[in-house]
Structure 1
Amino acid sequence: MSRSAWDNIIGGHVDVMIEMMREADPAFITGLSDDEFYSRLRERVIAPSALERMGAYDYSVPLLEVPGAPRRVLNLSSPNRAVTLADCHLVGRDVNAAWAAGRKNTAALKFEDTEILSRNGIDIEVLSGDSIYLASKVADMTTLISTQLGECLYGVLFIVPNAYEFTFHRPRSADGTLAAVTALAELADVFCRDTPSPLSRSVFFWRDGEYSQVCDGITIDPTGIFASTVTELRARAS
């Protein structure tokens, strides 16, 4: 940008940062009415490294019980700003109601772009958009499937490499599903780069309300509900 534009750019950035500091103040947040507070909440899935001090977010929960798993948190959302709420911001609030409001508000957001990547007959679907909450829809997979994905008879194999993308495969055969794990792991590594909101390099699976980690970003290790689904698909084909 030309030197003449610098003052406006810097001034605008400073204004946003000051507003973010003001809204992160527990006194400001606790002073909001319940209606405004709940209407601005969003459920978000983030990398654990994004939390400044884990002990300040005791209310947060992991997406699934594996080391380094993404964590579910609540954000207070404003135009062009988002504050990750800590325990001190939820004092005096009904936490269960806050989770419900945040989930409902995140579910209402829509993906803007759809793309299908095909490799050796394996279809990988990519849903994306501008909102930092789109990948967080995986915390409520039942609603995501019923409102936006459609039929996923044998669950969903997926990655959330950054906040803006949800990339997945619909299992239909054992061999195709295992091949999709490798493809998704490679895409997760690529899509985690050059993004302001990296999330996870892992490959996950969901079926019937249960999550499992299939690849930790390095090693592929089919376990749990994913392993049993692959066995089911193999038996179905024989």
Structure 2
Amino acid sequence: MFRRGVRRDGADVPRDGEFTFLSEAEAARLRAFVREAFAERGIEVTVEPGRVTTDSGWRFGLTNLAAVCHNDSRGPRRWRTLVDQHVDRVVRSLDGPQALRALPRERLLAQLFPRFIPGGDPALLKAFGYGPRSVPGLLEVLALDLPETVEMLTADSVAELGEPTALRDRALQNLRAVRADRHKVVRDKEGSHVDVLMGGSYFIASLALILDEVVHRYTKDASAPDGVLVALPHRHQLAFHVVRGGDAGPSLHTMARFATVGFEQSPGALSPSVFWWREGEFTRVATDQAWPPGP
């Protein structure tokens, strides 16, 4: 859980400037696969270090794909298949109808969830900065959980669908049905005690928005008068520690390391920080790396 991904080319091989968990050779190979996959589907793209751009101006980031390939235990021999699957999903999203216009309103509401995304990019802030500032450095957006993709709603799309506060209330109601695939309690000899939730859902980290309910669900703690330490390294994980007595210090150290590793090497990276939650408010308290805090 805390192990960094294996560097198959050796520790002394030059690392890629954009994806440091890959060597320069691995990253070049991945970008070549991406260019070939789009070309085979009749789409010419310009490949940049962290994204591709089509002739029509569509831009697609490569960070998640790079992390998926890196974390696949079958190694680079599997990468072309993973790239093909990813590009197929991207192409289908371009060709398919817009969900807001294609689906009945009640079905849209039933598939609406809150989702966190990093908040440091001005372009993202412009398009998705409509939500409440719940967790420092992250944007809280509304998203549709569709069969093959998760479609984040821009401010214009939200206005088209309904009143933002009512939509968020419905999204939180739907979030209460999300369950982690795995719950693990991590302890070490220093006395730390951290609960970790993991799952395939894109909204595991979003459970931080109902943290009091989540804590009670997984630990049976009825209250947390001194607050809860929480980490959201990426969209598929949530770690927390109910603050009680003298184990907060060791647990904070463990969570900071955990958050950094997950943030650096997992798809859907969110934050390398640890936050203190109390009475619904989040405060950043620690990070294991230098990181721009964003809005």
Shorter-chain TM-score tier: 0.7 to 0.9
* Matched position secondary structure for 2:145: strand
2:154 equivalent in structure 1: 86
Equivalent residues of 2:125, 2:139 under 8 A apart? no
Q: 2:168 aligns with which of 81, 89, 99?
A: 99
Q: Given residue 179 of structure 1, which amino acid in structure 2 is its aligned partner?
A: P
Equivalent residues of 1:106, 1:134 under 8 A apart? no
Q: For 1:1-238, what aligned pairs fall within 5 Å after superposition?
A: 10=84, 13-21=86-94, 25=98, 28-30=99-101, 32-49=103-120, 52-64=123-135, 66=136, 69-92=137-160, 93-119=162-188, 120-151=190-221, 152-153=223-224, 154-173=226-245, 175-218=246-289
Equivalent residues of 1:206, 1:212 under 8 A apart? yes
Q: CA deviation at 1:43?
A: 0.8
Equivalent residues of 2:194, 2:241 under 8 A apart? yes
Q: Which runs of 5 or more structure 1 residues have no equivalent in the other structure?
A: 220-238
In 2, Cα distance between equivalents of 1:167 and 1:116 = 9
In 2, Cα distance between equivalents of 1:145 and 1:71 = 23
2:15 equivalent in structure 1: none
1:236 equivalent in structure 2: none
Q: Given residue 248 of structure 2, which amino acid in structure 1 is its aligned partner?
A: T
Equivalent residues of 2:191, 2:251 under 8 A apart? no
CA RMSD after TM alignment: 2.8
Q: Given residue 110 of structure 1, which amino acid in structure 2 is its aligned partner?
A: R
In 1, Cα distance between equivalents of 2:268 and 2:218 = 23
Alignment CA distance shift 1:71-1:53 (3 Å): closer
* Matched position secondary structure for 2:235: coil
TM-score (norm 2): 0.63
Equivalent residues of 2:129, 2:139 under 8 A apart? no
Q: Which runs of 5 or more structure 2 residues have no equivalent in the other structure?
A: 1-73, 291-295
In 2, Cα distance between equivalents of 1:55 and 1:145 = 33
Deviations 1:82-126 (CA, angstroms, capped at 9, x unpaired): 011101212331222211121121221111112222121221221
Alignment CA distance shift 1:212-1:23 (3 Å): farther
Q: Given residue 59 of structure 1, which amino acid in structure 2 is its aligned partner?
A: Y
Alignment CA distance shift 1:53-1:210 (3 Å): closer
Q: CA deviation at 1:50?
A: 6.9
In 2, Cα distance between equivalents of 1:183 and 1:8 = 32
Equivalent residues of 1:20, 1:83 under 8 A apart? no
Q: Given residue 212 of structure 1, which amino acid in structure 2 is its aligned partner?
A: T
In 1, Cα distance between equivalents of 2:258 and 2:81 = 39
Alignment CA distance shift 1:127-1:82 (3 Å): same
TM-score (norm 1): 0.76
Alignment CA distance shift 1:145-1:72 (3 Å): same
Overall identity of the aligned pairs, in %: 22
Equivalent residues of 1:43, 1:75 under 8 A apart? yes
Alignment CA distance shift 1:172-1:161 (3 Å): same
